Amino acid sequence: MPPTTKFYLLFLCINYMTYDKISWVKYMNLLDKYLVKCEICPNKCGINRFETMGVCKAGTLLKIALASLHHWEEPCISGEAGSGTVFFSHCNLQCVFCQNYKISQGDLGREIRIEELAEEYLALQNKGALNINLVSATHYIPQVAASLKIALEKGLTIPIVYNTNGYETIEGLSLLKGLIDVYLPDLKYYDDKYAIDYSRAKDYFNFATQAILEMYRQVGAPVYDEDGIIKRGLMIRHLLLPGLQEDSKNVLKWIRDNLPIEIPISLMAQYTPVYKAINMENINRRITEEEYDNVIDYFFEIGLEHGLAQDYSSATTYYTPEWE
Ligand code: SF4
């Protein structure tokens, strides 16, 4: 073999090893620090995820159920082209009415390395996605932060949307600072009684509201492009549940009292009883049109201005992805 060829092969080999080593070191550092005693979310299980599972049942490897273009988010997220949505398996809440319960509380999904997830983002960008939409990634924040850093180095330019149930810690969110462009949190409950009964979450309102204020500190009020697609900022979602109009009104009142008027609120009417909710007397029905209208009227009565309302007919499982 001529000397030049040997040199070329050796160079390739070193280059490959260096790349792999850097990625692995980053990965190990994150796992060591945050997963050996996991307190990423408010459940603060304190367990070693290399050895056992906490409330979320997530291990140390990332697991995703789907990465595809999604057209059924709010128009300022999905637009015409679609949102590049990554659905993560497992969840730190255990909502009895979860439409995606097969992936959030079942075990559906495929394990994926952080470098591979970065490639998924880039593939979605190449397919024309308007943004990367991370759905329920709380329990994977360290690995997701690493995947975003790799993708950004490799040319990811579209906005990153962090789509969350709101049950977050400030420490967890601090790992995402500078990486997330749009925060899309739920504010599900005002009264913790409902958070415990329906999502098995202690102190939900306190954690979710502190998290939302941190999200606002990181990204501010929304900025839209010329087509009305959100490029940066905070938008809050609230799903109306049957019989909980007063709780919904308290949620709206907190938003009005604690955040600027420009923060949009997406009021969702799509609740459909599925999973354990089918057998729960208080929530085994859709919300009524009167309940929905009542909350929308209150939205305007208290001086809120920026919001999105779902068509009442969206209360169907038609918009839920098929996980099989
Ligand atoms: S991320 Fe999972 S293991 Fe870690 S504290 Fe939350 S629920 Fe527990």
Which residue puts its alpha carbon closest to atom 2 of ligand 1? 56
Is residue 17 located within the same domain as residue 81?
Answer: no
Q: Which atom of ligand 1 is the closest one to the Cα of 54?
A: 3
Q: How much is the pLDDT for 311?
A: 80
Per-residue pLDDT band for 201 (boundaries 50, 70, 90) equals: very high
Does 83 reside within a domain? yes
Is residue 253 located within the same domain as residue 138?
Answer: yes
CA of 20 to the centre of ligand 1 (A): 28
Q: How much is the pLDDT for 312?
A: 79
CA of 140 to the centre of ligand 1 (A): 9
- The finding on whether 149 has its CB within 6 A of some atom of ligand 1 is no
- Candidate from 71-75, 133-137, 205-209, 220-224 with smallest mean pLDDT: 71-75
Which residue puts its alpha carbon closest to atom 3 of ligand 1? 54
Q: How far is CA 137 from CA 96, 131, 154, 306, in A?
A: 19, 16, 21, 27
Between 131 and 319, the higher pLDDT residue: 131
Is residue 130 located within the same domain as residue 19?
Answer: no
CA of 51 to the centre of ligand 1 (A): 13
Is residue 217 located within the same domain as residue 280?
Answer: yes
Is residue 17 located within the same domain as residue 141?
Answer: no
- The finding on whether 142 has its CB within 6 A of some atom of ligand 1 is no
Is residue 68 located within the same domain as residue 167?
Answer: yes
Q: How much is the pLDDT for 25?
A: 56
Q: Which atom of ligand 1 is the closest one to the Cα of 38?
A: 4
Per-residue pLDDT reduced to its tens digit, 63-76:
999 999 999 899 99
Mean pLDDT to the nearest integer, 127-136: 98
Q: How much is the pLDDT for 72?
A: 86
- The finding on whether 42 has its CB within 6 A of some atom of ligand 1 is no
CA of 133 to the centre of ligand 1 (A): 21
Per-residue pLDDT reduced to its tens digit, 79-116:
999 999 999 999 999 999 999 999 999 989 999 999 99
Report CA torsion sign: 300, 302, 303, 306. Answer: negative
CA of 155 to the centre of ligand 1 (A): 31
Q: Residue 54 is part of which domain span?
A: 36-319
Query: Domains in the chain: how many in total?
Result: 2
- The finding on whether 58 has its CB within 6 A of some atom of ligand 1 is yes
Mean pLDDT to the nearest integer, 134-160: 96
**Whether 246 contacts 256, CB under 8 Å:** no
Is residue 79 located within the same domain as residue 99?
Answer: yes
Mean pLDDT to the nearest integer, 112-141: 97
Is residue 134 located within the same domain as residue 279?
Answer: yes
Which residue puts its alpha carbon closest to atom 1 of ligand 1? 139
CA of 57 to the centre of ligand 1 (A): 8
- The finding on whether 200 has its CB within 6 A of some atom of ligand 1 is no
Q: How far is CA 129 from CA 68, 182, 275, 291, 302, in A?
A: 9, 15, 31, 35, 36
**Whether 228 contacts 75, CB under 8 Å:** yes
Per-residue pLDDT band for 5 (boundaries 50, 70, 90) equals: very low
Does 324 reside within a domain? no
CA of 204 to the centre of ligand 1 (A): 15
Q: How much is the pLDDT for 75?
A: 94
- The finding on whether 41 has its CB within 6 A of some atom of ligand 1 is yes
Per-residue pLDDT band for 32 (boundaries 50, 70, 90) equals: confident
Per-residue pLDDT reduced to its tens digit, 163-193:
999 999 999 999 999 999 999 999 999 999 9
Q: What is the mean pLDDT of the chain?
A: 90
Residue 317 has pLDDT above 80, yes or no: no
CA of 56 to the centre of ligand 1 (A): 6
Q: How much is the pLDDT for 105?
A: 95
Residue 280 has pLDDT above 80, yes or no: yes
How far is C-alpha 124 from the geometric centre of its chain's CA atoms? 17
Element (H, E) at 143: helix 141-153
Residue 225 has pLDDT above 60, yes or no: yes
Helix (H, G, I), strand (E, B) or coil at 16: helix
The total number of residues shown for the chain amounts to 324
Between 292 and 320, the higher pLDDT residue: 292
Is residue 176 located within the same domain as residue 291?
Answer: yes
Domain with residue 197: its CATH number is 3.20.20.70
Does 118 reside within a domain? yes
- The finding on whether 137 has its CB within 6 A of some atom of ligand 1 is no
